[in-house]
Chains A and B, each alone.
Chain A
Amino acid sequence: MLSIKDLTASINDKPILKGINLEVKAGEIHAIMGPNGSGKSTLSHVLSGKSGYEVTGGSTTYQGKDLLLLPPEIRAREGVFLAFQYPLEIPGVSNVYLLKAALNAVRKHNGLDEVDAMDFLTLVKSKIKALDMDEKFLYRAVNEGFSGGEKKRNEILQMAILEPKLCILDETDSGLDIDALKIVADGVNSLRSPDRSFIMVTHYQRLLDYIKPDFVHVLAHGQIIKSGGPELALELEEKGYGWLEDGQVAA
């Protein structure tokens, strides 16, 4: 699905990613953990095509294509989805309008007919119910005046509608109380499938109690310094990141 080799990237000539290597196969869930400033968000932004980052080396292959050559909207249409840490508020654009425009852009790209208004509403209503959201959210401006939890749920709703192949969750747990976290996690879990992969970027172990990863990677100073199974997350929860970072410095 995704193969990242020696990826390096900088912001304003300051190196942030210093050689990332990561293999994600279909159906896998990878958690990327690490202290603040380790490059976690940069990695998710680079993968989704946000401007302002300069890729200085390495390669990123997604389903056989050079991902970094594609503009952000093509990545999205090819099945890469970034759930934002801070979803944007878009006054004047209704949620339902964006969802429909996005879905049809993706469908068109993949040679499918655009969905009509009726079919779309049936689809969106079934998804919104599964996420325990009020239908009224559909007709409000995108994320405008939404609480933190509502915004994150809205991200998951978009994901559920677009049915991407590679989902990147950037600090999706931040700012969520335990109930909202459960709802969001349930939404993600319901989307798990053998042909869909997830990269979850998170600072805390908490989210991983609800969405069980197959692999856990520790990112520090722009490199993955340790990889393991779910048990690594528990170890991090117990010991913090210090012991790994110290080791990195010593090495």
Chain B
Amino acid sequence: MSAALTAYTASYPTVAATLPGVALEGLKKLRTDAFAQFSANGFPLPSEEDWRYTNLSALQKKAFNPALSGINPVDAEWLESYQLADAWSLVLVDGHFRADLSVLAGLPDTVQIMGMADALMHHPELVMAYLGKAVANHKHGFIAFNTAWFTDGVWVNVPAQQVLEKPIQCLHIVTQEGGLTTTRTLLVLGENAGVQWLETFVGADVGYLSVAVTEAFIGQNAQLTAYKMQCESAKAYHFGGLYIQQAPQARCTHHNFAFGGLLARSDIDTDLQQAAQCELNGLYLGVKRQHIDNHTCINHNQPDGISRETYKGVLADRARGVFQGRVVVAEQAQKTDSNMSNRNLLLSADAEVDTKPQLEIYADDVKCGHGMTVGQLDEKSVFYLQSRGIDEVTARNMLTFAFANEMADKITLPALKALLLGQLLVLFPQHGYVD
């Protein structure tokens, strides 16, 4: 057993007593089971197929300390720059919901939006009906860890027919050096409901571990438009998993922007029932020694489902990107229509990307396509721009920005788009960025 693992398991009994929902039998059982699994297996190992390109040995060596609430003040600038103005927002600081920083005024009475600890207190049966139902503890070490350790998170329950006109933002902020934040979030959308959901991850310029798991249940014919904006500190470790259950005709669009973290891994899994549709878009940008891993899995369980997936990566310096896209079409999922594309741009000779499509098709009447590319900037295009008076650095930045911007262009929330374009421009300014 690694030093870190020993530290986590040894302190767990003390930590567990402070966690929310200790009085709930169901949760206690779930946590005990999760703890046992984590104690036995630890964090995922490269020998596991889904983790073969992402080595977590740094996490085996160093234990992070469960972050307590209210240790550090929250930088007003973060709230200013990351909290969307025209949205309901829930702010989690160091893994604890902060009602004082959140904006929830004007929500329809029928909608439940609150911190997870509060939800376990006020709606325990409802929460327990969903917790762990979209992802099981045994999926991998981070899920077990998250279930055992989560301190808070967010509960969103939108009843049938309710379409929310403003987006809901969950803003995760980490302030503590060496801190561990573990949050669990549940999104429940009733039939025909409509929600725009954004999770934003930011942190102080220190090393920490952020483990956030979200389970989403999209009711029949309901629509979830979800965004993830991962801008963690350049020294941070990030695991973020989103596990989605789509009822018949449910629609889900997800936009995943992964810019931050020293080592960051995203899981986006979705299960589609009959005629459900999903669109997964992603953009990952790595510089210096960043390692950014995106793992998606689309399960077509029933006929007539449609899935579209477009992921793009830009890797500079010694950064490494990973894309694993899995599509499983069950035997009865006839007439499935699925397409996956992953395009990568390498800006330096030392940058690396591993891209791996995995199509498992058990039905015979389906349309499934995929395409993966890894390339560099087209030198002819660079020359074309130079021949028009644009200097070489700017020309390369323009072309790189154009490649990445295709994904930002898909965003329909203007405020979020402006925020993301700002982030992109920092990475690819008009001058000065040389790989």
Contacts and interface: CB of A to CB of B under 8 A. Distances in A.
A102 B383 contact: no
Contacts of A162: 388-389
Contacts of A90: 381, 384-385, 399, 402
A243 B274 CA distance: 74
A105 interface: yes
Given A93-B399, A101-B398, A88 B381 contact: yes
B386 A76 contact: yes
A98 B386 CA distance: 11
A187 interface: no
A106 B387 CA distance: 11
Nearest to A93: B402
A90 B406 CA distance: 12
Contacts of A48: 387
A64 interface: no
Contacts of B394: 101
Contact of A91 (B387, B390, B395, B402): B402
Contacts of B392: 71, 73
Contacts of A101: 388, 390, 394, 398
A82 interface: yes
A125 interface: no
Interface string A66-92: 000001110111000110100110111
Nearest to A78: B389
A102 B389 contact: yes
A120 B388 CA distance: 16
B401 interface: yes
Contacts of A82: 387
Contact of B390 (A81, A84, A87, A102): A102
B379 interface: yes
B389 A77 contact: yes
A106 B384 contact: no
Contacts of A71: 386, 391-392
Contact of A73 (B380, B386, B405): B386
A246 B405 CA distance: 55
Nearest to A75: B387
Contacts of A226: none
Contacts of A93: 398-399, 402
A102 B402 CA distance: 16
Interface in B398-422: 398-399, 401-403, 405-406
A112 B394 CA distance: 20
Interface string A95-112: 000100110011001000
A101 B384 CA distance: 13
A213 interface: no
B391 to A, nearest CB: 5
B388 A76 contact: yes
A49 interface: yes
Nearest to A164: B389
A207 B399 CA distance: 33
A250 B390 CA distance: 46
Contacts of B406: 91-92
A72 B403 contact: no
A158 B389 CA distance: 11
A12 interface: no
A93 B397 CA distance: 11
A92 B391 contact: no
Given A49-B386, A71-B386, A102-B388, A88 B380 contact: yes
A65 interface: no
Contacts of B389: 73, 76-77, 102, 105-106, 109, 162
A82 B391 CA distance: 16
B384 A84 contact: yes
A90 B381 CA distance: 7
Contact of B391 (A73, A84, A87, A98): A73
A33 B117 CA distance: 80
B381 A92 contact: no
A72 B398 contact: no
A129 interface: no
A192 interface: no
Nearest to A143: B384
22 contacts: A49-B387, A50-B387, A71-B391, A72-B383, A73-B392, A75-B387, A76-B386, A84-B384, A84-B387, A87-B384, A90-B385, A91-B402, A91-B406, A92-B402, A92-B405, A92-B406, A93-B398, A93-B402, A101-B390, A101-B398, A105-B388, A162-B388
Pairs A-B, 5 closest by C-beta atoms: A92-B402, A105-B389, A76-B389, A102-B388, A72-B386
Interface of B: 378-381, 383-392, 394-395, 398-399, 401-403, 405-406
